[in-house]
Amino acid sequence: MTVPIALRRNGSYDDMIASVIEDKESTGLSSTNLNSISIFYSLESQDKESTGLPSSDLNSISIFYSLEPQVMAPCKQWMQLSLDNRVDQAYLDGVKKFLDYAFQRLGKQDEIRCPCYKCCNTTLGTRETIDTHLKVYGIIQNYTFWYHHGEHLGELVSNSEDETDDEVESYESEDEVHELLKDLYPNVDEASTRTSYEDVVAEEPNVEAKRFYNLLKDLEQPLYQNSKASKLSSLIKLLHIKSMGHWSNESFSMLLKMLKEELLPNGADLPNSYYEAKKIIRDLGLSYNKIDACTNDCMLYWKEDSLLDSCKICGASRWKMNKHTGETRDKKGKKIASKSLRYFPLKSRLQRLFMSTKTSSLMTWHKDERVNDGIMRHPADSMAWKSFDELHPSFATEPRNVRLGLASDGFQPFRNSKSSHSIWPLVLIPYNLPPWLCMKQEKFILSMLIPGPNGPGDAIDTYHQPLIEELKELWEVGIETFDASTKQNFKLHASLLWTINDFPAYGNLSGWSTKEKLACPSCNKDTSSIRLTNCKKQCVMGHRRYLPKDHRWRNDKKSFDDTIEKRLPPKTCSGIDILNQVQDLEGQPLTKDPKKKRKISHEKRKDNWNKKSIFFELPYWKSLLL
């Protein structure tokens, strides 16, 4: 599995910065010109030892973005002629403009993906080949966002078939934050925008949305009178320079002071210190909650346990202890936690998806624009999605309710492959979006970073607690959310449909050990395996069980293992069946302390369960097909 984490590194380990790709829209920024937004989450000096990372003067949070000139996509009305009128001149002109646009946006490429009905963007072709295919087979009608051909989310689209290239090039890019502000404040700074909004806000945004919009509006004010840069854009660029230059917090505060006192005009609206700058970013919802954890992964120090100094399961100290003095305080008198989970609250990020008109309108794509022709192009076409809708009609009635997938795996953050350090990010994928967007890296929502140096194993459930609590609240209660596209408030709910992982991580998340002779979670107790004589490894067998009863290979002894296969395929276990199997593991302590860890005999149980997964705390989990 490819983990959506990018490492940016300059120099030695001490200069390492973990760059976390964050959802553009969940930050509240629109996507008109945004090429990329990355939030650099690195560790403050007091957290270095608690994560097991080498000590360094790392920075806390900074943001960078890059803008590129915007090219308007040609009108797409010609695509409606694809089925029955491909000889129409409007269709032929549309094909030509599409090819001109695609080859211009993709640069010097001789071949691009062919979007005809035959190739479906899976085959590369020259301009001449694609031109012929589009005229003979027609273009895919629901391919209205030309992702494979260079179009960006939020890019302006011509409304006229006759618009010239000169007119297209005359459009200039607009500021990112300003675009989002116009969604709510149509008359803000009308002199600097060509877009006129005739719609009137039908309903006042809820308190949270109004606070966010007001904050953005305040930050969008000029840095000083007649300044071309806003307070927010200036602050973002300065924080980016701080991160890339590995500046200390104190040096950054000194720079802000010098800029205000000596270089900028009186009244320049910059924060006075790094602390104030960080607070602004936190108020925008771009921060995280740091929750201390037991060094043996037994528990989190949160809620009623937030004041404890030692683990109530294994008794290990919460704090890093000096090996020489035995003290738990550093030279400054501050205690350093042995481990700290970094959790990024989910509710505020889901609300951000609806605070831009462009993203909020796409959040109902699975209901409004998906073609239901029996071909699986999107998770909404799957049996798991349809079964969930049938079992939970009240949730399915509101298409804006968010369906999520969860992906997690460990990765090695250091260049030295001999190091065993492992950090586990947990990422959520919003499946409401179209298929060409929902699996894009910038649309992933980072939920948490589980610290190393070792992987959590089955005790990963300990770290999932804050997320499960939010998911339960989002399912049962929901959260008041403002939809910028309809200018209405609604109650947003969310559900987790499945997990995405490799086979070892599958075992950690599900609780079924993916080792030994019953390694297959799907076959469950009916797994067919043998132990190889020479290498002493388990080998899964019995694949002929899945063939039709009258298939000739079932009786072919010579080509296989010298046996005739008469068995039926293993029965698929439902969520209820699995819940019954793990019921006796309720309350099983999850810990890496060998003194407290309870040994489970798979031979006696006749299955491979190590725990009851925390996902069963979700009211709907037992009803899911996957």
Buried/exposed code over 124-150 (b: 16+ C-beta within 10 A; e: otherwise): ebeeebbbebbeebbbbeebebbbbbb
Mean of the pLDDT values across residues 347-372? 89
Q: What is the pLDDT of residue 582?
A: 92
Q: What stretches of 387-444 adopt beta strand conformation (E)?
A: 402-408, 424-430
Binning pLDDT at 50, 70 and 90, where does residue 379 land?
very high
Return the ∠ at Cα 136 (arms to 133 and 141), rounded to 5°. 80
Mean of the pLDDT values across residues 233-255? 86
CA–CA separation, 84 vs 405, rounded Å? 38
One-letter amino acid identity for 432?
Answer: N
Compare 162 and 470 and report the one with higher pLDDT: 470
CA–CA separation, 312 vs 340, rounded Å? 17
Mean of the pLDDT values across residues 336-351? 92
Q: Which helix (H) or strand (E) holds 341?
A: strand 339-343
In the predicted structure, residue 126 carries a pLDDT above the cut 80: yes
In this predicted model, what pLDDT tens digit does every residue of 497-535 receive, in sequence order?
999 999 999 999 999 999 888 988 889 999 888 888 888
In the predicted structure, residue 16 carries a pLDDT above the cut 60: no
In the predicted structure, residue 15 carries a pLDDT above the cut 90: no
Structure letter (DSSP) for residue 439: T
pTM of the model: 0.67
Lowest model confidence (mean pLDDT) among 222-226, 351-355, 480-484, 593-597: 222-226
Structure letter (DSSP) for residue 44: -
Q: What is the pLDDT of residue 59?
A: 33
Q: DSSP H helical segments within 318-442, as ranges?
A: 346-352, 357-362, 365-368, 383-391, 393-397, 435-438
| Range picked from 213-217, 220-224, 299-303 for highest mean pLDDT | 299-303
One-letter amino acid identity for 367?
Answer: K
Q: What is the pLDDT of residue 417?
A: 62
Compare 419 and 493 and report the one with higher pLDDT: 493
CA–CA separation, 305 vs 133, rounded Å? 65
In the predicted structure, residue 589 carries a pLDDT above the cut 90: no
Q: What is the pLDDT of residue 415?
A: 65
* Percent of the chain as helix, strand, coil, to the nearest 5: 35, 15, 50
C-alpha distances out from residue 125 to 78, 106, 116, 145, 454, Å: 21, 14, 11, 19, 47
Q: What is the pLDDT of residue 83?
A: 77
Lowest model confidence (mean pLDDT) among 38-42, 95-99, 453-457, 560-564: 38-42
Phi/psi class of residue 478: alpha, beta or left (left: φ > 0; alpha: ψ in -120 to 50)? left
Return the ∠ at Cα 499 (arms to 460 and 293), rounded to 5°. 20
Mean of the pLDDT values across residues 266-270? 81
Q: What is the pLDDT of residue 599?
A: 86
Return the ∠ at Cα 384 (arms to 378 and 385), rounded to 5°. 55
Q: What is the pLDDT of residue 254?
A: 92
In the predicted structure, residue 245 carries a pLDDT above the cut 90: no
Binning pLDDT at 50, 70 and 90, where does residue 303 land?
very high
Helices (H) and strands (E) in the chain — how many of each?
19, 16
In this predicted model, what pLDDT tens digit does every residue of 160-172 receive, in sequence order?
554 444 433 333 3
Binning pLDDT at 50, 70 and 90, where does residue 28 land?
very low
Return the ∠ at Cα 516 (arms to 510 and 522), rounded to 5°. 45
Peptide bond into 453 cis (omega under 30): yes
- In sequence order, what are the residues at sequence separation of 6 or more whose Cβ sits closer than 8 angstroms to the Cβ of residue 616? 579, 582, 622
Residue holding tokens 């043998």? 530
| Range picked from 181-195, 253-267, 381-395 for highest mean pLDDT | 381-395
Mean of the pLDDT values across residues 381-396? 94
In the predicted structure, residue 249 carries a pLDDT above the cut 50: yes
Q: What is the pLDDT of residue 144?
A: 84
Q: What is the pLDDT of residue 173?
A: 34
Residue 571, φ and ψ in degrees, nearest 5: -70, 135
In the predicted structure, residue 292 carries a pLDDT above the cut 90: yes
In the predicted structure, residue 181 carries a pLDDT above the cut 60: no
CA–CA separation, 401 vs 395, rounded Å? 7
Buried/exposed code over 356-367 (b: 16+ C-beta within 10 A; e: otherwise): bbbbbbbbbbbe
Lowest model confidence (mean pLDDT) among 60-69, 224-233, 347-356, 383-392: 60-69
3-state secondary structure 242-269: HHHHCCCHHHHHHHHHHHHHHHCCCCCC
User: In the chain, what percentage of residues exceed pLDDT 90?
Assistant: 35
Count CB-CB contacts under 10 A for residue 319. Answer: 19
Closest alpha carbon to 194 in 361, 319, 32: 32
Please give the full DSSP string across 132-193, using - where no structure is assigned: HHHHHT-B-TT--S-GGGT--TT--B-S-TT--HHHHHT-----HHHHHHHHH-TTTTGGG-
Mean of the pLDDT values across residues 11-25? 34
Q: What is the pLDDT of residue 283?
A: 72
Q: What is the pLDDT of residue 299?
A: 95
Closest alpha carbon to 143 in 105, 109, 100, 113: 113
In the predicted structure, residue 587 carries a pLDDT above the cut 60: yes
Half-sphere exposure of 161 (CA within 13 A, CB side): 12
One-letter amino acid identity for 120?
Answer: C
Q: What is the largest CA-CA distance in the chain?
A: 90
CA–CA separation, 404 vs 426, rounded Å? 12
Q: What is the pLDDT of residue 286?
A: 66
Mean of the pLDDT values across residues 138-164? 73
- Three-state secondary-structure class, residue 394: helix
Structure letter (DSSP) for residue 374: S
- Three-state secondary-structure class, residue 584: helix
Please give the distance of CA 291 from its chain centroid, rounded to a whole number: 21
Mean of the pLDDT values across residues 108-127? 88
- Three-state secondary-structure class, residue 63: strand
Binning pLDDT at 50, 70 and 90, where does residue 48 land?
very low
Closest alpha carbon to 348 in 224, 546, 211, 245: 211
CA–CA separation, 312 vs 41, rounded Å? 30
CA–CA separation, 454 vs 477, rounded Å? 36
